[in-house]
Amino acid sequence: MGEWVRLAVGVVVLLAITLTVLSVGGIGHRAAAVVAVLRAVGQLALVAIVLRVVFTAPPAVVAVLAVMFSVAVWTAAGRLGGRALLRPVGLSCAAGAVVAIGIIVGLPVLSRDVRTLVAVSGIVVGGTMTASTLAGRRLRDGLVRRRDEVEAALALGATPRQACRPIARSAVYEALVPALDQTRTVGLVTLPGAFVGALLGGVGAVDAARFQIVVLVGLLCAEAIAAALLAYLLGAPATLPLAVDGPGGG
């Protein structure tokens, strides 16, 4: 019981500091921070219960993976403009996740069991969601900022895809910067969650490092596919955006 009390106190203190910083800085988003924490607590509690069932009934993993993927696609599409982008976002996330998870679990690079499948899938699908969101937002922002450049290329006879290609490439690169930095600095700047989690779970340091490097490279692969495919699917717009606003802006 004492552990849960310390956990609650720690979370409350950290959240209070976060809210104080946001208030002093006049940044706002205080309500969003509180809601995010409450959602995280509730969702993780629910996931813990669900996974206890999944680990005893492996066929249920299909439903868990379906929910993970659906929420990821819905979240990324919502950030980029809503339901109209569900299809391209879904295709992009699916392509990245299927390739990376298929290789990691299918070869298998790691042990082929339900726990590994769920852990790797959660990390990889989350990565494709982030990469798709970043690529889509950077693409839209680039099309707004470099509208004159695109229109000039179109006037010279370029197709929409040719005119937008440099912006799409830049968007993909920017979307991959977090994954590249994380991979490049692992062990020197940060100890990623998968590595720390494996250590806390009693796995040896060598096995934890092996798991982490597979996850990092798998993430990079999945995010590269997702970002590149989404930039391709959205990289030949019939009309150029006039301003960065709404869910896709910022």
Percentage of residues in the chain having pLDDT higher than 70: 89
Q: Give residue 37's domain range.
A: 1-56
On whether both 135 and 199 belong to a single domain, the answer is yes
Domains in the chain, number: 2
Mean pLDDT of the chain: 86
Amino acid type, 236? A
Q: What is the mean pLDDT of residues 124-147?
A: 94
| Cα separations in angstroms, 225 against 91, 125, 162, 219 | 10, 12, 20, 10
Q: Which has more confidence, 88 or 53?
A: 88
Model confidence at 91: pLDDT above 90: yes
Model confidence at 107: pLDDT above 90: no
What is the rounded distance in angstroms from the CA atom of residue 209 to the CA atom of residue 187?
9
On whether both 80 and 41 belong to a single domain, the answer is no
On whether both 132 and 26 belong to a single domain, the answer is no
On whether both 155 and 224 belong to a single domain, the answer is yes
Q: How confident is the model at residue 125 (pLDDT cuts 50, 70, 90)?
A: very high
Residue range 184-236, pLDDT digits in tens: 887 666 666 666 666 666 667 777 777 788 888 999 999 999 999 999 999 88
Model confidence at 126: pLDDT above 80: yes
Residue range 19-32, pLDDT digits in tens: 999 898 888 788 88
Global pTM value: 0.79
On whether both 138 and 175 belong to a single domain, the answer is yes
Per-residue pLDDT, 173: 95
- Extract long-range pairs of 65-71: CB within 8 Å, 24+ residues apart: 65/117, 65/118, 65/121, 65/125, 68/121, 68/122, 68/125, 69/93, 69/94, 69/97, 69/125
Last residue of a domain, one of 29, 56, 83: 56
On whether both 65 and 41 belong to a single domain, the answer is no
On whether both 129 and 21 belong to a single domain, the answer is no
On whether both 167 and 215 belong to a single domain, the answer is yes
What is the rounded distance in angstroms from the CA atom of residue 192 to the CA atom of residue 181?
12
On whether both 4 and 116 belong to a single domain, the answer is no
Helix (H, G, I), strand (E, B) or coil at 190: strand
Angle formed at CA 218 by CA 229 and CA 117, multiple of 5 degrees: 110
Per-residue pLDDT, 238: 81
On whether both 66 and 47 belong to a single domain, the answer is no
On whether both 63 and 41 belong to a single domain, the answer is no
Q: What is the mean pLDDT of residues 127-138?
A: 95
On whether both 222 and 151 belong to a single domain, the answer is yes
Per-residue pLDDT, 18: 92
| Cα separations in angstroms, 26 against 22, 33, 155 | 6, 14, 45
